Amino acid sequence: MQDNRVLKPAQAAGTVRLGDLTVQRMGFGAMRVTGAGVWGDPPDRSAAKALLRRALDLGISFLDTADSYGPNVSETIIAEALHPYPTGLVIGTKGGFTRPRRSWIADGRPAHLRAALDASLARLRLECIDLYQFHTPDPRVPFVDSVGALADAQRAGKIRHIGLSNVSVAQLEEAERIVDVVSVQNEYNLRERASDDVVDACARRGIAFLPWYPLGAGSVLRSAKIKRVAARHGARAAQIALAWLLARSPFMLPIPGTGTIAHLEENVAAAALQLSAEDRATLG
């Protein structure tokens, strides 16, 4: 039967799979649903909740967060705004970073990951997390020990699917000998392409790639070439940067974050942009 429903903006880019779950290819990164510097409460908690609800209204079905955002703030506000969660919403969170004195310190010890997972479950008001991502390898802890701790939690029913973040292709392969990996989240954008090989490895495997800093913390948007393409489309530079990511791989799942509904709506509108061969050649 033909579906005659009007697509919501986030649905224009199609879908990608996270294991047995299907989500729209434009997600939302909830890192900025916190205070300045990803620390403490947001300046307006009600506005932060309204932003999350608007993301769902626009058709977004995947939210990315972490226990280190705040710390603990982003997960708590997601639950306050959206629980009980609507059918089809997939929440991914991460563990493996701590925030002493606002710094970012890796902690991949199995005991820490077990405690972090249990705390995230409580804050998100969940019995099982759809996607739990190992936030970063810890050079002081064998990588296989950290991944093994998540494998144990998955067998215990606390994690549905496992993802990795800030990893190389070799680390992805190492993890795959222990668990089924459904996603990788690395820094990636028009300017920062060091993970090109990881993007391609994910595509070969049919697993999602989540680019963090998809706009390069704003640095990408100052490029003359992106401004030229934006002018051709009557679009904003940020929208072109996101459209380029979507065109880079069918397994790309951008998760741009913002603190304002206006920027959220602009970002989601990028899902409908189609870049030409000339556009892609200009962007390089």
Residues belonging to the active site: 69
Q: Phi first, then psi: what are they for 189, rounded to 5°?
A: -165, -175
H-assigned helices in the chain = 45-57, 73-82, 110-124, 143-155, 169-176, 196-205, 224-233, 237-248, 261-269, 277-283
Determine whether 72 is exposed, middle or buried from the number of CB atoms within 10 Å of its CB (0-12, 13-18, 19+).
Answer: middle
Give the CA radius of gyration of the chain. 18
- For residue 219, the tally of other CB atoms under 10 A from its CB is 13
d(CA 264, CA 261): 5
